[in-house]
Amino acid sequence: MIGLGFRMAPTGAPAQAPDLIGDAVSAAFGSGQLGALYVIQPDYQGITILWQDEAGTIPAAADGDPVGRIDDLSGGGNHATTPVPGTLRGSAGNWRLEFDGVDDYYDLPLSLAQNSPSLYLAFAGAYRELAGADKSMIWFSTGTSSTGTRARLNTRATTYLQAAGRRLDEGPFDTGVQAEVIAADEPFTASALLDYANASAWLRKNGAEQASGSFSTAGASSDTPSLEAYLGWQAGEYTTMDARAFAIVTGGTDGIAEIEALLSSRI
């Protein structure tokens, strides 16, 4: 007789891909922490998270679609909206949001109180070009131009990443910490922790610390909640970039490792 060769079926269920978004949300926002998480992909677990319109009625799901709203995945409902949409680019597994550097930006319904103990800002993506004045990935402002809290994660001039702290009532914007670490079209993650309680800051690229230091918290200030919180805009300057994800956490550092693991997977 000719023996019949039987192939054993593999045992066990196939390995499931890690849910990096779910891990980040649970770690950073599971206890009610304030902030937002924006990931540039049409849907998450079958639920639409990018929309062509601010009202969230028309999904953005194909290359070239305008993106008028980015849903906040933190659970806080802090959806980013704009009257001047960016453009969705790419395809499954390689999505990005194109900011044209002319007028694309997103409003954030987030308040940054002057007495916030800390603010964590993070970005994944790339710049298509670097030129001109400071260009912010994430920008906050509280109070008046001379006495309020300011916070930003941005490019400084042409080649710098910068995390800036608070403006003084008697002096210019405190430069915080900065490092010459980026180039045009280079995919990267950038993250910064502005620790207001200790007047200190650190700045990372691709999860590795680039710089740390202190910034001044002297001077009069306002506790007025921020009326200026944006993605891709700062004081009249619009950003030219391809964005993959943004994260913002106020008042704590829980979930930073999980957020940075998520962002690194985007590039």
| Stronger pLDDT, 160 or 22, i.e. the higher one | 22
Please give the Cα distance from 71 to 51 (Å, whole number): 8
Amino acid 172: pLDDT: 58
Amino acid 226: pLDDT: 58
Decide if pLDDT at 5 tops 70. Answer: no
CB count within 10 Å of CB 125 equals: 25
Q: Percentage of residues in the chain with pLDDT exceeding 90? A: 47
Amino acid 184: pLDDT: 84
Decide if pLDDT at 6 tops 50. Answer: no
Helices 256-266, 20-29: axis angle to 10 degrees equals 150
Residue 61, both tokens:
């799901």
- In this predicted model, what pLDDT tens digit does every residue of 108-164 receive, in sequence order? 998 765 567 788 999 999 988 776 667 889 988 766 555 566 778 887 655 567 776
Range with lowest mean pLDDT among 11-15, 49-53, 103-107: 11-15
Which of the residue ranges 39-43, 169-173, 195-199, 247-251 has the most confident prediction, judged by mean pLDDT?
Answer: 39-43
